[in-house]
Amino acid sequence: MAKIHVSTTVNGEPQEFLCDAEQSMLDVLRGPLGLTGSKEGCGSGDCGACTITVNGRIVCSCLMLAAEAEGQKIGTIEGMADGETLHPLQQKFLEHAALQCGICTPGVLMAAKALLERNPDPSEHDVRFWLAGNLCRCTGYDKIIRAVMETAADMRGAAR
Amino acid sequence: MTDVQYVAPRTLDEAVKAFAAASGAAKILAGGTDLLVQMRAGILKPGLIVDIKKIAEMTAVEELKDGGFRIGAAVAGAVLRDHARLKKAWPGVVEATNLIGSTQVQGRATAGGNLCNGSPAGDSVPAMVAAGAIVTIQGPKGRRDLPVEKVPAGPGRLNLTPGEIVVCFTLPARPKGSSDAYLRMIPRTEMDIAVVGCGVSLTMDKGTVTAARVGLGAVAPTVLLVEEAGKALVGSKVGAGGLDDAALAKAAAACSAACRPIDDKRGTIAYRTKVAGVLLKRTAAIAAERAGRN
Ligand SMILES: Cc1cc2nc3c(=O)[nH]c(=O)nc-3n(C[C@H](O)[C@H](O)[C@H](O)COP(=O)(O)OP(=O)(O)OC[C@H]3O[C@@H](n4cnc5c(N)ncnc54)[C@H](O)[C@@H]3O)c2cc1C
Ligand code: FES
Ligand code: FES
């Protein structure tokens, strides 16, 4: 069976790859593209460890076919820092130790970034609700939520 | 390693042709949040996947001249959530669709997929039934329209003929004093499958309910239109305390009477039957309160 040729954009760079029809976006990211920041926790849409953006909206890359990336703009955790400069969320997660094993972290960061882009001033309820699809078995969530709330406050301050 | 094929046609005609030509071996792909889970679990192994998200007609939300809305079958929940005018006219349809899964799932999951997956517990379906949505279907023999409640045939089964694709949902124009609501009962507060789901849409004129429709989910092999419950609400007065208690009690009884549920780990038959009535009262109260402001 012939492979499918896909032309897409990953973190702002044009990217081409070959894939099988039923191969997931997550498999192609972690395999041929060597972008292993996105994690596979469940493979069934429940945990959010594989969160990426497609045209700016967060999705589970385990529940997306790689072939669907044709012509779309894909964003992964590898595109979050600006060179050596961490995104404010990444910096705050380090300061707050908002991670332990770190498996959930790339997905949490991708989701939190998308939230702050839509809503710079979320309530705690907004944050918890938005991140409900990101499971973490280590932190108990509290440090994650506080890190997101504080980053939002810092970014609002910086924007003034 | 694979003999699965993937196509992403640009037009509905091409999609129907490809889908029909592969007969039973093909599967439509909308958001994939059911399909890919089922493929991963080995429940399904389609020979051909027809991705419908490149078809303009199926990915658009359109406000019609008469004030109704046409929602493409492949529009993701997140897009509905961002559509301010749709949300104002049909808050119940939007809140029901937005209950499907997490933010990430919302980025993909569609009302078309929710209906066509055929689960009796699909959250958007009772709200669409209450709304009186008309489903447009296209197949090798052309186009036809069906009321949404006529589409499911049983768990995982639809009244579609081979090669037919759901194109869009049409929601009717809203008279003044109309609104809708959807509530579901689940054991936890988020991310779970409904034990009962209830959609109510109603219209009020000078403090009296003039039209009402009720959709019930997860209490029978298919989502139900409970006509008796709608009838019980029509004619009732809406006072300071909300809808009239006697009318609500009668509508709730009609909902419980319509239930033919299963016993499972999420809820017993007795529990689901009782909760159907309770949810009807709560959902109708929200719809009436919203309608009073429109
Ligand atoms: C983590 C998670 C949580 C979930 N939570 C909920 C929930 O709370 N409530 C709920 O109701 N569901 C839930 N679901 C199930 C699923 O997300 C919904 O049923 C969703 O609406 C399916 O839409 P989709 O576009 O992803 O469908 P797809 O997976 O693309 O399609 C579903 C089925 O319908 C067929 N199909 C799709 N579109 C068409 C069409 N236009 N014409 C003909 N056939 C078509 C497909 O071939 C497939 O068989 C959840 C799923 C996940 C992974
Ligand atoms: S791996 Fe995709 S949601 Fe868990
Ligand atoms: S830090 Fe281990 S799962 Fe979240």
Of A1, A24, A59, the CB nearest to B107: A59
Q: CB under 8 Å, gap of 24 or more: what pairs does B19-23 form?
A: B19/B48, B19/B50, B19/B163, B19/B165, B20/B139, B20/B140, B20/B162, B20/B163, B22/B47, B22/B48, B22/B50, B23/B162, B23/B163
The structural domain count of chain A equals 2
What's the N-to-C CA distance of chain B in angstroms? 57
Task: Name the helix (H) or strand (E) containing B253.
Answer: helix B245-258
pLDDT for residue B114 is more than 50? yes
Task: Name the helix (H) or strand (E) containing B107.
Answer: none
Task: Report the CATH fold assignment for B1-50.
Answer: 3.30.43
pTM score of the predicted model: 0.96
CATH of the domain at A97: 1.10.150.120
B36 touches chain A (CB under 8 A): yes
pLDDT in tens, B45-101: 999 999 999 999 999 999 999 999 999 999 999 999 999 999 999 999 999 999 999
How do strand B165-171 and strand B69-72 relate by DSSP bridges? antiparallel
By C-alpha distance, the chain B residue nearest A107 is: B104
Q: Tokens for A148? A: 């997101």
Q: Tokens for A38? A: 């996105």
pLDDT for residue B135 is more than 70? yes
Pick the last residue of a domain from A46, A79, A112.
A79
How do strand A4-10 and strand A73-75 relate by DSSP bridges? parallel
Name residue A32's amino acid. Answer: P
pLDDT in tens, B147-171: 999 999 999 999 999 999 999 999 9
- Residues A74, A102: one domain? no
Among candidate residues A45, A17, A74, A140, the one with its CA nearest the CA of residue B35:
A45
Tell how far the Cα of B262 is from the centroid of ligand 2, in angstroms: 30
* Per-domain boundaries in chain B: 1-50, 178-293
Show pLDDT as tens, one digit a residue, over chain A (160 residues).
689 999 999 999 999 999 999 999 999 999 999 999 999 999 999 999 999 999 999 999 999 999 999 999 999 999 999 999 999 999 999 999 999 999 999 999 999 999 999 999 999 999 999 999 999 999 999 999 999 999 999 999 987 7
The number of the ligand 3 atom at minimal distance from the alpha carbon of A49 is: 3
Of B8, B53, B107, the CB nearest to A58: B107
pLDDT in tens, B208-228: 999 999 999 999 999 999 999
How do strand B165-171 and strand B134-139 relate by DSSP bridges? antiparallel
By residue range, what is the domain housing residue A52?
4-79
CATH of the domain at A22: 3.10.20.30
By C-alpha distance, the chain A residue nearest B31 is: A64
- Other beta carbons within 10 angstroms of residue A11's beta carbon come to 16
**What pLDDT, on a 0 to 100 scale, did the predictor assign at position B267?**
84
Q: Between B267 and B35, name the one with better pLDDT.
A: B35
Q: Assign domain B178-293 to a CATH class.
A: alpha beta
**What pLDDT, on a 0 to 100 scale, did the predictor assign at position B1?**
46
**What pLDDT, on a 0 to 100 scale, did the predictor assign at position B241?**
82
Q: What's the ipTM?
A: 0.96
The phi, psi pair for B280, rounded to 5°, reads -55, -45
Residue the block writes with tokens 């988020």? B190
- Residues A75, A108: one domain? no
Using a 6 Å CB cutoff, which residues line ligand 3? A 99-104, 136-139
Averaged confidence pLDDT in chain B: 95
